Amino acid sequence: MTRISGNIVDVLNSSIYPGTLEIKDGRIINILKDYGKYNIFIIPPLVDSHIHIESSMLVPSEFARIAVRHGTVAVVSDPHEIANVLGREGVIYMIEDGKRVPFRFYFGAPSCVPATRFETSGAVLGPQEVEELLNREEVKYLSEVMNFPGVINKDPEVMAKIELAKRYRKKIDGHAPGLRGDTLKKYVEAGISTDHETVQPEEALEKLKAGMKLQIREGSAARSFDALVDLIEDYPDECMFCSDDKHPDELLRGHINKLVKRALNMGYDIMKVLRAASLNPIRHYGLDVGLLQKGDYADFVIVDNLKDFNILETYIKGVLVSKNGETMLPEFPVDIVNNFKTEEKRVSEISVKKKSRMINVIEAIDGQLITRKIKEVPKTSNGYVVSDPERDILKIVVVNRYRNAPPAVGFIKSFGLKRGAIATSVAHDSHNLIAVGVRDEDIVEALNLLIKNKGGLAVVCGTLQEVLPLPVAGLMSDRNGFEVGQRYSQLDSLTKELGSTLSAPFMTLSFMALLVIPELKLSDKGLFDGKRFEFIDLFTL
């Protein structure tokens, strides 16, 4: 039997008391209250209520090695990124790799693969495939239902997947940016229980009053913590913290623990904060994770105090998995799976002849997934529309990675590059190749670097050519998480040296093909208006 003493933070009963945990066979067999004077606090384990593990560019077992350093012991993970590339087998790959470590991965059955019919993905998950996944014990919920028009209009396939989740008594996750009023009511009435896409307090309040759980998101691209954290005061049982997408450099620096510390330093009550970071996701999804109660699994975190909130130790089933910022979990060799069939591209394939005076332009917004649709007079050269770094209007290109096809070309504002180009094979949700840059030659070279490596991130400026290969589905690395994080930081710094003013340029770029987030995006098939939900021409009056 193991005994661990400290100030025990009991969130279920809203109390803090000195005591000792008695642990045997991975469970807390007794909790002894005492009068000891302890300088450490034992808190419930931290849980990310919504994340795509693939966004960390690490396979699940490697993600776990980093996350436990920050007090995270469980994640509710939507594997729709790899599902868009490899289908059902991609989801199973994530489940099996996660079993290598004691970390708790709770995966969902992706509901929207492909996300829309307006893009090319590597696989399709219909009701039959979704049911096969929901029937697995490891799959805890139906992943975010991004096709909210399909829910509202009762699309037969969308509704079939929702009914399957109900039949298997599993939660249904939402994805409803900007949804309000009667349409929100219909969405919630379908059985959808959460939303992580809310960015405005008024919208969040309406969703909470409609009965949804609010997932307060602070990821590498989309950040709503500051705008929504106040809601934990009046809705402490309905709010959860999540990251959604967490790039490897930021994961090295922190995870849900950073949100807890920020909230505590803003003066929020420790019990309400830990409900959002631990209790609420465990209860909502029915996770088999301990909450510092007798008979629970011995899952907990030790911190120095409830202000600085430095993670000293992390335990899973009574086993120490991290101590003083060092992971105790072993590193495993990574199996390679992929789906990459396109051929290298030429500059002539991304050339655009001028057809009218104005063009539709995507305007990126730093820290948000939404964009604006604006009209601009383009810069031309010899009858062709070209990038205009002086006005920050750059060419953006999406290439179908699953078969050889002509690239789709558009223009984007607010990226900030003055020189060079960047490209990535992480392009939500179908994960075709996407690139942005000043010179066509650099754009094409960046794309071809990815094609040669069957996925990755690339920075090109003339003879400067740097790449981070992502051979696992073109989404994840086969390398150590610390190496991946450091390499990603190098590419991020290079991009900013080339002029980008975005806080996370690669992450922002990865969402410029996400058609289900308005207002204007670019798929491998063309420029897409997310409000009208239809393709539009690059050229306009």
Q: Among 42, 23, 3, which Cα is nearest to 312's?
A: 42
- What is the domain-level CATH number for residue 116? 3.20.20.140
Domain boundary among 262, 289, 316: 289
Boundary residue ending a domain (268, 289, 310)? 289
Mean pLDDT of the chain, nearest integer: 96
Does any domain span residue 373? yes
Q: Report whether 46 contacts 80 (CB < 8 A).
A: no
Averaged pLDDT, 66-80:
97
Q: What angle do CA 20, 22, 27 make, to 5 degrees?
A: 130
Quick one: DSSP state of residue 277?
A: I
Cβ distance 129 to 143 under 8 Å?
no
Residues in contact with 167: Cβ distance below 8 Å, sequence separation at least 6, in sequence order = none
208 and 353 in a common domain: no
- Distant-in-sequence, close-in-space partners of 173: CB < 8 Å, separation ≥ 6: 50, 78, 108, 111, 141, 142, 143, 144, 145, 192, 193, 194
Residue 14 inside a domain? The answer is no
Instruction: Clarify whether residues 60 and 164 are in a common domain.
Output: yes
Residue that is written with structure tokens 């400026």 in the block = 461
Only one residue has tokens 């790899």, namely: 82
Share of the chain above pLDDT 70, in %: 100
Tokens of 375: 């009209």
Residue 81, pLDDT above cutoff 90: yes
d(CA 488, CA 131): 37
Residue 223: pLDDT above 90? Answer: no
Return the pLDDT at 254.
Answer: 96
Q: What is the pLDDT of residue 255?
A: 97
Could you tell me the pLDDT band of residue 516, with boundaries at 50, 70 and 90? confident
- How open is the CA angle 254-258-261, to the nearest 5 degrees? 150
| Whole-number pLDDT of residue 265 | 96
The pLDDT, as a whole number, for residue 351 is 97
Residue 312 lies in a domain: no
What pLDDT, on the 0 to 100 scale, is given for residue 191?
A: 96
Determine the Cα–Cα distance for residues 471 and 192; give it in Å rounded to an integer: 35
**Strands 72-77, 384-386: pairing kind:** unpaired
Buried-state track 363-373, b at ≥16 Cβ within 10 A, e below 16 = bbebbbbbbeb
Among 174, 249, 180, smallest CA distance to 217 is for 174
Flag whether 470 is in a domain. Answer: yes
427: in domain: yes
Query: In this structure, what DSSP letter does residue 342 have?
Result: P
Q: How confident is the model at residue 148 (pLDDT cuts 50, 70, 90)?
A: confident
Q: How far apart are the first and last CA of the chain?
A: 76
- 149 confidence band (pLDDT: 50, 70, 90): confident
The verdict on residue 32 lying in a domain is: no
Residue 541: per-residue pLDDT: 83
Average pLDDT over residues 317-336: 96
d(CA 276, CA 47): 9
Range of the domain at 105: 46-289
> CA angle, corner 470, sides to 73 and 88, nearest 5?
65
If asked whether residues 283 and 358 sit together in one domain, one would say no
| Number of domains present in the structure of the chain | 2
Q: What is the pLDDT of residues 232-259, one digit of tens each?
A: 999 999 999 999 999 999 999 999 999 9
Per-residue H/E/C for 36-70: CCCCCEEECCEEEEEECHHHHCCCHHHHHHHHHHH
Helix (H, G, I), strand (E, B) or coil at 314: strand
- Banded model confidence at residue 147, pLDDT cuts 50, 70, 90: confident
Are 377 and 397 in contact by the 8 Å Cβ rule? The answer is no
Q: Count CA within 13 A, CB hemisphere, residue 122.
A: 30
Same-domain status, 234 and 366: no
Residues 99 and 218 in one domain: yes
266 lies in a domain? Answer: yes
Kindly report, residue by residue over 87-125, the tens digit of the pLDDT. 999 999 999 999 999 999 999 999 999 988 899 999 999
Same domain, 387 and 241: no
Which tokens go with 482? Answer: 């610390």
What is the band of 197 on the pLDDT scale with cuts at 50, 70, 90? very high
pLDDT given for residue 37 in this prediction: 93
The pLDDT score that the predictor gives to residue 467 is: 98
Note the pTM of the prediction, 2 decimals.
0.93
Statement to judge: residues 358 and 504 lie in one domain: yes
Helix axes 181-189, 201-209, angle to 10 degrees: 40
CA angle 145, 134, 59 (to 5 degrees): 80
Q: How is residue 241 written in tokens?
A: 């913290």
User: Is 502 found in the same domain as 381?
Assistant: yes
* Residues sharing a CB contact under 8 Å with residue 92, sequence separation 6 or more, in sequence order: none
Residue 254 maps to a domain: yes
> How confident is the model at residue 222, as a pLDDT?
76
Residue where one domain finishes, among candidates 289, 314, 333:
289
Phi, psi angles (nearest 5°) of residue 212: -85, 155
Mark whether 268 and 375 lie in a shared domain.
Answer: no
Task: Please state, in angstroms and rounded to a whole number, the distance separating the CA atoms of residues 246 and 252.
Answer: 10
Could you tell me what percentage of the chain is helix, strand and coil, using 3-state DSSP and rounding each to the nearest 5? Answer: 30, 30, 40
Name the nearest CA neighbour of 250 among 510, 484, 501.
Answer: 484
Residues 276 and 352 in one domain: no
Q: Do 125 and 268 share a structural domain?
A: yes
Shared domain for 249 and 390, answered yes or no, is: no
